[in-house]
Structure 1
Amino acid sequence: MRLQTKSLRSKLVIFCILVLLIPTIVIGISTYQTTKSELNEAGRNQLKQNVKMVIAMITLMNQQVETGKLTLEEAQEKVRQELLGPKNADNVRPMKQEYLVGKTGYPWAVNREAISVMNPNNEGQNLIDVKTEDGVMLGKEIVSVGTSGGGFLTYKYKLPGNVNRVETKVNYVEVDPHWGWIVGCGAYYSEFNSSANLILYMVGLISVISLLAGIVIVYYFAGRFTKPILQIAQKLNVVADGDFTVEAVKVKSKDEIAELARDFNHMIENMRKFVQTVHASSRQVATSSAELRISAEQTSQATEQITISITESASGAEDQKNSLQGAMRSLEEVAIGMQHIAKSSGSISESSADTSGMAQAGGAAIEKTVEQMSSIFQSVHESDTVVKLLDQRTKEIEGMLKVISDISAQTNLLALNAAIEAARAGEHGRGFSVVADEVRKLADQSNQSTMQIAKLIEEIHGDMTKTIRTMGKVKEEVESGMDIATEAKQKFSEILLSTGQISQQIEELASLTQQMSASLQEVSRSGDEVSRIAEQASDRSQNIASAAEEQLASMEEVTALATTLANLSEELQSVLGRFKF
C-alpha cells in the first residue's frame, strides 16, 4: 500500500507538472515562431528599402549624366564607391557599414546578361552558371525575377568564413529603369532572427523555474491529500494480519476522503463483532465433536479387533493357497528350464567339440605362420647384409673413379705440354703434335666417362641408402610379426586346453539336469492335490472376512466423520486465534 500511495502522489505531481509545463512550452514556442517570422519580415522589408534607395541614388546620378555634368561611366563608378567604396588593387571593394544589412548583407547589381557590375568581391564575373547549394541557377534566377517586375529570391548558401555551414539566404532584386541594372540586396535569415533565440532561452528558463516551483507546491499538497489514505492503508495492513484492535482513523476534513475514513472505521467495528461471535460458536462445536470422536473411536476399536482376527484367518488361507500355486508354477518352470538346460548342454557339448577342433586347426596354422615368419626374417637379414656389402663396393668404385679422373687430368695436362713443345719444334714436331692432340682427346673422353660413371654411382649410392633404411624397417616389422604369431600360438594352446575341460563339465551337467527334471515332475503331481484342498479353505475364510469388513467400514466412516468435525473445529479455533479483538 505504501508503494501505491507513493504512486498516487507521483501521478498527482506529474499531472500538475504537465498542466504547468505544456502551456508554457506552447506559449513560448508560438511566441518564438511569431517573433522569428516578424523579424524575418522586417529584414525582408529592409532589403527592399535598400534596393529602392540604390535605385533612387541611380536616378540622381542619371540626372547628372543627362545634364552633362558626368559621363555614364563616371556616374556608375560614383554609385559603386558611394555604396561599397573604391576598388583596391585586388579588384575588391570594401563594404560600408552604413549600407550593411545584418552582418553580411550588402547591395549589389548585375546587368541583363548576369554579369556582375557592382559587387565587393566578384565585380565583372559572369554569374549565369553559378549554382547554389540547393541547386538554384543563381544568375538565371536573378535576371528572371528582376525582369519580371522584381521580388524576393531565396536559396541555400554557405556562410562567409564557415564554408561547412549552409543557411537560407534571401535577396530582393529589381530592375533600374535608367541603366538597366538589376539591383539586389541579400542577407541570411539568421542575421534577422538571431534575437528570437533570446526569447526561446527565456521561455526555457521560465519553464524550468515554474516546473521546480510547481513540483515543490504540488508535492506538498499531494502529501496532505494522500496522508489519510496512507493511514487507512497502514491500518488495513494490520487488519489483514488479524489484528482488529487498531484505532479509528481520525480525519477533520469533510470531503470524500473523510467519508472513506468513516466507512473504514465502521467496517472494522462490524468485523470485530463478527469474529467474536464466530469464535464463541466454534468453541461449542469443538467440545461436541471431541465427545463424538471418542465414542466412535471406542466402537471402531472393538469392531476392528474382530475384523482383524477373521481377516488374518482368511488371509492365511489365501496366502497358503497362493504360495502353493506359486510353488507349483515355479516347479513347472524349473522343470521346463531343466529340460531346456539338458538340451542346451547337449548342444553346447557338440559346439565345444567343434570349437576344440577349430582351435587345434588354428594352432597348426599359427605354428606354420611362425615358421614362415622365421624364414622371411632370415631372408630379410641376408638381403640386408648383401645390400650393405653392395653399398660398400659402390664406395670403393667411387674411390677408383676419383683416381681415374686424376690420371685423365694429368694426361690431358701432359698432352697439352707435348702439343706446345711440338709447336715449338715446327715441321719436325708436327707428327708428335697430332699424337699429343689425340692423347688429349682420349683423356677428355676418359674424364667425361668417369664423371658420368661417378654420377651414376652417386645415384646408386642414394638408392642403396634408401634400400638399407627400408630393409631395416622390414626387419623390424618381421620381428614384430614373429612375436605376435608366437603369442597367438600360445593363446590357441590355452584355448584348446580350456575347451577340453569345458566339454567334460558340460557332459556332467547334462546328466545331472536330466535326473533333476524327473524328480521335479514327481513333486509337481503331489503339489496339485495340496493346492486343491487349500483353495477350498480359502473360499470359506473369505466369505466370513467380507462380512466383518463391511461392519468395520461402517464404524470407520462414523469415526472419520467425527474426526473431520473435530479437525475442522480445531482449524477454526486456530484461525480465530490469529485475530485480536
Structure 2
Amino acid sequence: MKLKFNLSNLSIRAKLLAGFGAVLAPLSILAAITYFTLAGVQDVLETTQPKTAYLADVRHQMWSLRFDIANYVGFDTEGRQKIKGSSAEKYEALEAALKKFTDAPGLTAEERELAKKIGEGFTNYQQVRPRWFELIDAGKMDEAVEYRAANTNKWGAYVVENTAALLDATKKNDAGRRDQQLGTVSFAHRSLTSVAVVALVMGIAAAFLVLRAIIGPVARLRDTVAKVSEGDYTARAQLQSTDELGTLGGAFDKMLEERVGALAKKEAESEALNTSIIDLMRAVAKLGKGDLTVKIPVREDITGALADAISSMADTTAKTLARVNNVSEEVRQASQLGRDIVHQTAQGMDGIRGTIQETGKRIKRLGERSQEITGIVKLIDDIAERTSVLALNANMQAAMAGEAGRGFRVVADEVQRLAERSKQATDQIGKLVSGIQAETNETTVTMERAIGEVVKGGELAEKATSQVSLIDKLGEGLLGAVRAFKLPAELLQQTAQPAAAEARKVA
C-alpha cells in the first residue's frame, strides 16, 4: 500500500509542529555534537592539567628535603629541630601529591611504572635520611659524608631523576591527547557547521511550506470575502485542504449558498407580492369608476383574502343597486298616488321650503367639503401605496446588499418625503373636518327653525299619512338594501387590516 503525504491534510497545529520539528531535529543533533565535544575537551583538561601540577609538587618537596640536609650542618640546635620537625610534613605532602598523580585517570603504563619507581625510591630515602641526622648530631662528619654519598644522595637523586622522567613522559602523553582532542574539536567544528547549514535550510524550507499552507488559504478566504462585499455572490473559496482553514472555507461556502438561495426566494416572493398589489390597485381603480363587473384574480399570497373580499363586495354592490332600483320604482309609483294630497300641502310647506333650501345649500357645501376630504384621503392612499412599494424595494435592497446597503439610503429618503406628504394631507383633513363640524352646527340651528315651519304644515301632513306610511315601508326596504351594501365594505376593511399588517412584515 503506497502512502502519499499531503501537507494540506494536516491540521494547523500539526503543520506548526512539523515545522518546529524540522528545525528542532538538526538543532538537537547540533546540541548533541556540541555536548559530546565539550565533554571530551573537559575530560582531556581534567586528565592533563592536574598531573603536571602533582609532579611539580613532588619535585618541589624532594628538592626541599635535599636542601634541608645541606643546610642542617650550618644550623644550631634549634634550627636543626625545625628541619627535623618539618620533614614529616614534607613527607606527607610528597606522598599526597604522588598518590593524586597515581589516582588520576588516563595514566599510561610508562607513567605508572615511573610513579612506582618514585614511590620505592622515596621510601628508601625516608629510611636512610634519619641516620644521617644522627651522624651529624654525634659529630661524625667524615662518616656522615660517606653515608650521605652512599645513601641519601643516591636515593634522593633516584627520586629526582625518575620524577623528571615521569614529568617528560606525562607532558609528551598529554600533548598527544591534546592533539587528538584538537582533531576531534576540528571535526566537531566542521560537523557543527554542516549541521547548522542543514538546520538553516530545513528551517527555511519548513517555514516556507508551513506559511504557504496557512497564508494561501487565508488569502483566498480574504479575496472571497472582498468579492462578496463588492456584490459578486458567485464567488466561493473552494479550499481543498482538510485542516481548520479548509473546514472554515467549506462552512463559508455553504453559508453563501444558503444566503444566495434565501435572497433568490425572497426576491421571487417580493415580485409576486408586487404583482398582486398592482392587480389590486387596478381593480380598485375600476371599481372607483363604477365598473362593478371587475374580477380580481385570487392568489395564494397575503393579498388573496383581500382580492376575494373586493370581488365579493363588487358582486354584493351590484345586487344591492338592482334592489335599490326596484325600490325606487315602487317609490315613484307610490308618489304618483300621493301627488294630489301632497299638492294640497304644498302651500303650507312653502314656508318650510325656504328653510329646507337653505339647509340643502349648507348640506351641499358639507358634501363638497366631504368630496375634498375624499380627494385628500385618495392622496393619502396613493402615498401609502407608494410607501409600501418603496418599503418593499428597500427591504430587497437591504437584503441583497447586506451591510453595504447603499441603495437603502436612497429608498429611505424617498420614504421620508412620502411620510411628510402624508402628514401634510392629515393636517388638511383635520382642518376640513373642523370646517364640516362648524357647518354641521349651523345646519342644526337651521333645522331647528325648519321644525317650527314643519309644525305649521302638520295639519296638511295628516292628510298624507296613509301615503307616507307606504313610503316609509318602501324606505325601510331601501334602508335594508343600503345596510346590505354596507356589510361587504366592513368585511373588506376587516380583511384588509391583517393583509396590510402582513405586507408591512414582508416589507
Q: Normalized against structure 1, the TM-score is what? A: 0.27
Structure number with the higher strand fraction is 1
Give 1 or 2: higher helix fraction.
2
